[in-house]
Amino acid sequence: MITYTATNTRTGQFYIGSTNNFKKRQQEHLSSKAPFPFQRALQKNPDEWEWEFVEDDREDRELEQFLLDLFFGENLCLNLSADATSPVKGRKHTPETKAKIGAKHKGKSYGPETRGKISRARKGKPSPLRGRKFPGRDQASNRRKVEVTFPSGEKKVFPSGKEAATNIGCCLSSLRGWAKSGRAPRHGAFFGFSFRYV
């Protein structure tokens, strides 16, 4: 896996990512039409950006996740998610975007041939979620409880990550990343806190 950073030499803004093909991924960033902060800043002044990368034999995104755990949430970090496996996790569409997506798909339906293919592919296969239980979740509400340890040492269990994030003023995606990885924030406003799912 190749883990890379792109840093703006003028503003200090940076982005962290990983890929199996660095040149291809770099070109995708430069030509992307997505209205994400990194793409907009990069395409505005591509010559101001310095790229660095490290390649190893691992197939997972462990190094990218480690760097996100360190830097996600800082003002200069342009990543949208604290989760390396899901770069836009936690990002919500605006009402205007939702309306556009809805209008685009309104009235669409699969034709008989496509419906037949889907039916044949699923025939005899049970639903992967049927009867499945999710350990650590409150089955009544299907939400995971989060234990927050405050810098004072006090511990408090919240019924969901959303409630924990709201209570302490933290970004929900950051809290989820910390609780999932078991790593505590190492700097910033939430240094001294720790989070875990219970």
Look at residue 41 in the predicted model and tell me its pLDDT: 93
Look at residue 100 in the predicted model and tell me its pLDDT: 76
| pLDDT score of 47 more than 50 | yes
pLDDT band at 5 (very low <50, low <70, confident <90, very high): very high
Interhelix angle for 172-181 vs 62-71, to 10°? 130
Look at residue 138 in the predicted model and tell me its pLDDT: 43
- Which of 28, 138, 43, 46 lies closest to 87, judged by CA? 28
Please tell me the distance from the alpha carbon of residue 2 to that of residue 158, in angstroms, as a whole number. 37
Average pLDDT over residues 40-49: 92
| pLDDT score of 122 more than 80 | no
pLDDT band at 130 (very low <50, low <70, confident <90, very high): low
* Per CATH, domain 2-71 is 3.40.1440.10: yes
Average pLDDT over residues 154-181: 88
Look at residue 127 in the predicted model and tell me its pLDDT: 56
Please tell me the distance from the alpha carbon of residue 189 to that of residue 196, in angstroms, as a whole number. 18
Look at residue 131 in the predicted model and tell me its pLDDT: 53
Look at residue 142 in the predicted model and tell me its pLDDT: 46
Domain positions in the chain are 2-71, 137-197
Q: What one-character-per-residue DSSP string does the chain give?
A: -EEEEEEETTT--EEEEEES-HHHHHHHHHH-----HHHHHHHH-GGGEEEEEEE-S-SS-HHHHHHHHHHTTSTTB--S-S-TT-TTTT----HHHHHHHHHHHTT----HHHHHHHHHHHTTPPPTTTT---TTEETTTTEE-EEEE-TTS-EEEESSHHHHHHHHT--HHHHHHHHHH-PPP-SSTTTT-EEEE-
Give the tokens for residue 109: 């339906």
Of the listed ranges 9-23, 98-112, 115-129, 166-180, the one predicted with least confidence: 115-129
2-71 shares its CATH topology with 137-197? no
Look at residue 141 in the predicted model and tell me its pLDDT: 40
What is the percent of the chain with per-residue pLDDT over 70, rounded to a whole number?
83
Class assignment of domain 137-197? Answer: mainly alpha
Average pLDDT over residues 24-48: 91
Please tell me the distance from the alpha carbon of residue 176 to that of residue 73, in angstroms, as a whole number. 13
| pLDDT score of 102 more than 80 | no
